[in-house]
């Protein structure tokens, strides 16, 4: 095993590591307030836990040199776990907007959708060499639904936490669009590309989510 010789991949690995460490810090914060709403916080802990794992996994995948064939199989588990993470996110949005019972009912269907997304990724990758476009579509649909739901929820309840959650979703959408562009390359001491930018922007979104969830632990709803 050797370090990936592509300089942009090295930077991506480092920023992925920073994202993982930051995600772990947010995980600790949420773990400390989990008793305020155990069901909801358990889902969020799974989301942040998967983000930590995916970031550390990505650090290794980007930072270590692998053959193209090996990389295809290395990315498969990450693709699947990203789908699970997005599915859990939709489940927790449904919890906030519709309540616990509907969230529980929709969870099996959302997990099933993650499996379908993964299968679709495998199928598409055989046609256009990359199935990541499927994840972008899957994430995009989920985030747009979440953004609309939280904006409507804010109009209804006027809770500050909902504004932070909405902002976190908007930042996540921006991060995904920047990554999907695959057109960002610049140098500030070190060279960065669209993946590195995605990691930095996603960190902002992650902190907004954490702030919103922290505030929600003190809010009282009717």
Q: What is the pLDDT of residues 169-186, one digit of tens each?
A: 999 999 999 988 888 999
Percent of the chain with pLDDT over 90: 68
Please report, for residues 54, 57, 70, 83, 213, the alpha-carbon distance to residue 165 in angstroms, rounded to integers and kept in the order given.
Answer: 21, 26, 37, 20, 8
Q: Is the pTM of this model over 0.85?
A: yes
Please provide the DSSP assignment of 121-175 as one string: HHHHHHHHS--HHHHHHHHHHHHHHHHHHHHHHHHHH--HHHHHHHHHHHHHHHH
Question: Residue 108 and residue 88: Cα distance in Å, rounded?
Answer: 10
- pLDDT over threshold 60, residue 131: no
Specify whether the CB–CB gap between 198 and 176 falls below 8 A: yes
Q: What is the mean pLDDT of residues 106-129?
A: 85
- pLDDT over threshold 60, residue 89: yes
Tokens of 138: 């899957």
Q: What is the mean pLDDT of residues 49-58?
A: 96
- pLDDT over threshold 90, residue 33: no
Question: Residue 179 and residue 97: Cα distance in Å, rounded?
Answer: 29
Tokens of 59: 């650090």
Go through 90-115 and write b for each residue having 16 or more CB atoms within 10 A of its CB, e for each that does not: bbbbbbbbeeeeebeebbeebeebbe
Taking 3-state DSSP, the helix, strand and coil percentages for the chain, each rounded to the nearest 5, stand at: 85, 5, 10
Question: Residue 91 and residue 107: Cα distance in Å, rounded?
Answer: 6
Amino acid 139: pLDDT: 87
Question: Residue 27 and residue 7: Cα distance in Å, rounded?
Answer: 30
């Amino acid at each position: 095993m050797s370090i990936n010789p592509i300089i942009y991949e090295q930077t991506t690995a480092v920023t992925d590591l920073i994202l993982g460490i930051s995600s772990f810090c947010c995980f600790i914060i949420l773990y400390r307030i989990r008793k305020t709403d155990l069901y909801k916080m358990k889902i969020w802990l799974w989301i942040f836990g998967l983000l930590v794992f995916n970031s550390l996994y990505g650090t290794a995948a980007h930072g270590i040199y692998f053959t193209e064939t090996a990389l295809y199989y290395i990315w498969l588990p990450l693709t699947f776990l990203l789908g699970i993470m997005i599915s859990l996110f939709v489940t927790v949005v449904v919890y906030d907007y519709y309540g616990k019972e509907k969230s529980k009912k929709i969870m099996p269907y959302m997990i099933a959708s993650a499996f379908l997304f993964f299968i679709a990724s495998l199928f598409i990758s055989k046609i256009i060499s990359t199935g990541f476009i499927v994840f972008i579509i899957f994430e995009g649909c989920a985030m747009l639904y979440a953004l609309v739901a939280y904006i409507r929820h804010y109009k209804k309840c006027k809770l500050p936490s909902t504004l932070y959650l909405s902002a976190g979703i908007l930042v996540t959408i921006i991060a995904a669009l920047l990554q999907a562009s695959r057109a960002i390359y610049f140098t500030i001491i070190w060279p960065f590309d669209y993946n590195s930018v995605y990691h930095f922007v996603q960190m902002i979104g992650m902190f907004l989510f954490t702030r919103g969830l922290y505030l929600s632990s003190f809010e009282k709803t009717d």
